């Protein structure tokens, strides 16, 4: 996590007044718990900080439980907590008089003055514990990248900001290309008061639409952001009803809508998955995609068809949440010497891995054995694993449609024949013994 040293706060004056490192009286175990004064009356006694006394019932060695009780917030009505909801100390250690506290993810939501005040309250409270020389505040993300935080004391501390306060931050967004098939990136530069502001900014920029030529808006018209939260790497985005009422009516644009949101948010280090709600409720089936899940980043949505490298734009058709319509997944297919492009495309189809509610329409283990291509006709022969869906009418229909629609996305193909080990038998509900075209799909 990138940290920027902003300033040295001297607790002996200004925002915070001087205090001594008063240890807990082992006979009374009284702890002064520091929070913010609700009126924030600077210059009086503790300045912006206020405190309440708590008599400790736990043994002094149980510091983690003591500090988590403190982080839960004040009892007095004239004090307010500087800590985000859900903040906890998940790990604690003492080394040579320095108490290291590993805090959970809500700490990363703080930045700027908010983090300064929270760090001041926590440090000043913790420094009353006996035999301490300093306090070190870390998060799990700091440990993951091997970054060490500064040691803070009750007299002075360096404020280390994890946000981009007073520094322009470049944010990458994704909109649809002019054809609505692939995501293209756009960058915005903005100054944020805290890192916690950035996810909301990302969604608001997507809702506002692109400013660059050749890019197409992806969010349904009229959609507004109701609420956003980040917890344990998952960003929950609660959108207004327009996201559902004005949803895309084609699978290609549905994919752009969903993945522009997911891929833009997962550009941020703190977000790994995205969950979409509408008016506080799960979306379920959108058009062909089932959104009732945590969605992950999909790099294939950003493929670029490079004509100079003999690549062709095609489409895989896979199973989503609908038993009637397949979900289109645009792919770039490179024409290889002496290998029909139809073969390369079908190999991509058989290798398709399940993600974001989309799954391969062909039974697991199905492989392409060979193709025969001539004059707009393509025969595709598959391994016997294809017959594992035999007897299930929906599965048979989706397998046939997946193969045929995928091949028909290539301009030269007009007729498709499907065989298994060279034979046209095996399905019991839908016949393989026919030529399929765009007009006679099951």
Q: Which among 85-89, 97-101, 232-236 has the top mean pLDDT?
A: 232-236
Residues with Cβ < 8 Å from 206, sequence gap 6 or more? 173, 175, 218, 219, 260, 261, 264
Q: In 10 A of CB 6, how many CB atoms?
A: 18
pLDDT over 70, % of the chain: 83
Beta bridge partners of 215: 177
CA distances from 186 to 202, 304, 386 (A): 11, 15, 42
Closest by Cα among 210, 208, 220 to 186: 210
Q: Where are the beta strands (DSSP E) in 164-305?
A: 168-177, 183-191, 215-216, 225-231, 234-239, 273-278, 281-282, 295-296
Beta bridge partners of 37: 79
DSSP 94: E
pLDDT-wise least confident of 134-138, 325-329, 400-404: 134-138
Helix (H, G, I), strand (E, B) or coil at 257: helix
Give pTM, 2 decimals. 0.63
Q: Report pLDDT for 159.
A: 41
Q: Is the pLDDT of residue 92 over 80?
A: yes
Tens digit of pLDDT for each residue in 243-295?
Answer: 999 999 888 899 999 999 999 999 999 999 999 999 999 998 898 888 999 99
How many residues are recorded in the chain? 442
Q: Report pLDDT for 368.
A: 96
**Strand 234-239 to strand 30-37: parallel, antiparallel, or no bridges (unpaired)?**
unpaired
Tens digit of pLDDT for each residue in 391-421?
Answer: 999 999 999 999 999 999 998 899 999 999 9
Q: Is the pLDDT of residue 11 over 70?
A: no
Helix (H, G, I), strand (E, B) or coil at 159: strand
Q: Is the pLDDT of residue 361 over 60?
A: yes
Tens digit of pLDDT for each residue in 343-352?
Answer: 999 999 999 9
Q: How far apart are CA 99 and CA 20, in angstroms?
A: 18
| Sign of the torsion angle spanned by Cα atoms 34, 38, 40, 44 | negative
Q: Is the pLDDT of residue 58 over 70?
A: no
Q: How far apart are CA 103 and CA 100, in angstroms?
A: 10
Q: Report pLDDT for 306.
A: 66
Q: Report pLDDT for 371.
A: 95
Let me know: does 100 contact 65? Beta carbons within 8 Å: no
Longest CA–CA separation in the chain, Å: 94
Q: H or E stretch including 160?
A: strand 156-161
């Amino acid at each position: 996590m990138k940290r920027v040293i902003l300033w040295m706060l001297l607790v002996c004056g200004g925002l915070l007044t001087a205090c001594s490192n008063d240890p807990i009286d082992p006979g009374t175990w009284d702890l002064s718990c520091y929070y913010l004064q609700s009126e924030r009356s600077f210059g009086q006694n503790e300045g912006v900080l206020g405190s309440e006394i708590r008599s400790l019932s736990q043994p002094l060695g149980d510091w983690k439980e003591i500090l988590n009780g403190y982080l839960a917030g004040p009892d007095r009505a004239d004090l307010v907590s500087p800590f985000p909801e859900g903040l906890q100390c998940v790990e604690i250690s003492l080394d040579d008089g320095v108490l290291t506290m590993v805090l959970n993810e809500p700490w990363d939501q703080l930045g700027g003055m908010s983090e300064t005040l929270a760090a001041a309250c926590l440090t000043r409270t913790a420094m009353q514990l006996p035999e301490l020389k300093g306090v070190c505040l870390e998060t799990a993300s700091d440990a993951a990248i091997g970054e060490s935080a500064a040691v803070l004391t009750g007299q002075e501390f360096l404020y280390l900001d994890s946000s981009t306060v007073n520094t322009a931050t470049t944010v990458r967004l994704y909109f649809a290309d002019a054809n609505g098939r692939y995501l293209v990136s756009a960058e915005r530069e903005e100054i944020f008061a805290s890192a916690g502001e950035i996810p909301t900014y990302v969604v608001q920029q997507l809702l506002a639409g692109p400013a660059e030529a050749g890019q197409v808006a992806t969010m349904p018209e009229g959609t507004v952001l109701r609420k956003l939260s980040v917890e344990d790497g998952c960003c929950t985005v609660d959108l207004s009803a327009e996201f559902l009422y004005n949803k895309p009516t084609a699978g290609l644009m549905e994919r752009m809508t969903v993945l522009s949101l997911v891929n833009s948010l997962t550009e941020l280090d703190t977000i790994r998955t995205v969950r979409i709600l509408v008016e506080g409720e799960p979306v379920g089936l959108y058009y062909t995609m089932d959104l009732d899940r945590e969605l992950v980043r999909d790099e294939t949505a950003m493929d670029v068809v490079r004509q100079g490298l003999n690549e062709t734009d095609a489409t895989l058709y896979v199973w989503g949440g609908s038993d009637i319509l397949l979900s289109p997944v645009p792919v770039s297919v490179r024409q290889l010497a002496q290998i029909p492009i139809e073969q390369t495309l079908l190999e991509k189809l058989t290798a398709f891995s399940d993600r974001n509610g989309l799954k391969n329409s062909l039974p697991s283990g199905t492989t392409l054995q060979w193709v025969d291509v001539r004059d707009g006709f393509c025969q595709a022969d598959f391994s016997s694993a294809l017959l594992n869906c035999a007897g299930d009418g929906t599965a048979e229909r989706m397998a046939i449609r997946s193969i045929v629609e995928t091949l028909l996305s290539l301009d030269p193909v007009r007729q498709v024949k499907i065989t298994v080990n060279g034979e046209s038998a095996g399905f019991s509900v839908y016949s393989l013994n026919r030529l399929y075209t765009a007009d006679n799909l099951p």
